[in-house]
Amino acid sequence: MKKFLSVGTLILLGVVGSAWPAFAWKPHENHFEPGTELRKLGQDGANQYCRGRFNDLVKTGDLSSWDARFVNHVWAHLGANKCVYNTTQL
């Protein structure tokens, strides 16, 4: 009986775990919350939305000056529902 429960638990954890994909961000990828459901906007609309949100964060000083100066690309990651800005790797 003990083996059955542990196997059942492993199967349950595997099913639940696979429903929530993990996203590994590269060192030059910095993400922030978009404040909206990006998937509804489509990739192009979400990219544009994230660029606007990024510009707002720069204007309000909510990003470090280093991040604001060395950003080379702002985009939307629809799967993670995150806005992402890439910084140049020094």
Q: What residue segments make up the domains of the chain, in order of their start?
A: 22-87
Residue 79: its pLDDT value, please?
94
Residue 1: its pLDDT value, please?
46
Residue 51: its pLDDT value, please?
96
d(CA 38, CA 50): 9
43-to-79, 81, 83, 85 alpha-carbon distances in Å: 11, 11, 11, 15
| pLDDT, average across residues 21-29 | 74
| pLDDT, average across residues 40-47 | 97
Q: Which of 8-17, 24-33, 41-50, 79-88 has the lowest mean pLDDT?
A: 8-17
Residue 78: its pLDDT value, please?
96
